[in-house]
Structure 1
Amino acid sequence: MADPLSLAGSAVGIISLGIQVCNGLLVYADAIRGRSQDLSDHLDQVQPLLALFKSLELTATRLETLNPENAKILRDNMSQTEGKLKSLQVLLDDVGISPSATTDIKGKMKETFRVVVYPIKKSKLKGARQTVQALLSSLTATIQTVGLDLEISQNHILNEAHKTVAVIKSNSIEMKAEMATSYNKVADVEGRLISVQQDLCGFSKKADGELGFISADTKEGLENTRAILGLMNNLSLQLKQTSSNASGTSQSHITV
């Protein structure tokens, strides 16, 4: 059994070719519109066909991951369009317009020159119109077939989105709870810091008072010490004076 993803990948390749071919046909239609409105009208359904291819481009990408079974269904439907797209590509090759024809002004001028030199016959344009109409009908049916499954896929995506939102809300609630806990812890630490600050302030005032008392007691002690030293000094002088007087009296008695 073939890998569904590779089948979807092949479908994407065909869709990409369809978009390029439609762009080339639009370039050709613009080039001949001024010279032959009748011929240009043969390609009037290319624009809606291009829109369908672009829609399928988004669908194929989703089916690759959401529904491999539908990827195979899409591949089967797209394989029926591949031959028609290649026939249109040959038509563009006849006038020198590549499937990846550019749409800028310079590119359009270049492609217009090629169209003038290599015009497509009216009969081929009619055949191209029929091919475009057949592709339009086929792709519309494909869109409708895959569209039902896309609704399921979209519901799946929506459910996943709801689950994601629920997880985000749950995480948000947990984060709020953690933030509240952290806030309470910070408030508790802040309260403790304020208490310590108040204790330090009280200790500082008490220490200043005690140092004041110590300073006063020390000053009084120094004054007392000085007074005692003064008394001792006076006493020493008196003793010396007494000793001197006693010595003089003794000498006087010896002489007599």
Structure 2
Amino acid sequence: MKKLIPLLFRWLGRLSLRKLHWLGATAGLLVLYASASYRQRLIANMTRGLGRPPQAAEIRRTAAETGRMMFELPYIWQRPLARVLGHVLAVEGWDKVEALRAEGKAIVALTPHLGCFEIISLYIGERMPMTVLYRPPKQAMIEPILRAGREQGSIRLAPADLSGVRRLIKALRQGEATGLLPDQAPGKGEGLWSPFFGKPAYTMTLAARLSEVSNAAVVLFWAERVVGKGWCIHVETPDEAPSGTLEERVHSINRNIETLILKCPTQYLWGYNRYKTPAGAEPPPAQ
């Protein structure tokens, strides 16, 4: 059965983006109705994020978009880079990146699980050297496909360990770009508890540490999905630039990510178990 996964992945990569988005939406809705635990977590996280219970249409739309997020990966990772980037329909705010680079700044690109986050590094990597933190997938058989899809243009993958952190810092000191998913739940010792939509979430400290590098500038990216057609990339500088202690920087980054998510909430990965306690980590503070 496991050997069929790479074959299925390669077959899906031959389909059009429109067909993959349709299949993804169908799969997302099936999971929503089939898994009570997933449905409950999605609704609970949406309620916390929106500040109100989501409407039934919002729940269905979110589940469908999550499915599309997963099913567009075979296309992105296996098609020629030029063809994939040809689906970038518009880019809003890239001038902010150019202005920062003109000032000699290195870019800390933060991309939450919002819209099509995989397209962001490919777009940036076509325009400047970029080092991206990389954690191997649980399904080892698709790792060659994943690595080939992500290591394109001038992108370099850094392992999610101390050596990878050193490579990220080195890249920033050389004036290059680095990329992270700041809402990825870290392992024990790699994060601290920080409010995320009003509830403590174990949050990585790495993004905050990179923001402390002297010539680094934090820039927020997200790619809005246009169903069946592609993506519109949005580039924003933080409303609240990370500063102060490490803990204050972590809190600041979470607040900025919250603001970003609420611009297109149905394309966020609300079903992700963002509030889990890593094995061996201290429990969250009492609320």
Q: TM-score range by the shorter chain?
A: under 0.3
Structure (1 or 2) with the larger CA radius of gyration: 1
Structure with the larger RCO, 1 or 2 (CA within 8 Å, 6+ apart): 2
Structure with a larger share of its residues in strand: 2
* TM-score after normalising by structure 1: 0.21
Structure with higher helix content: 1
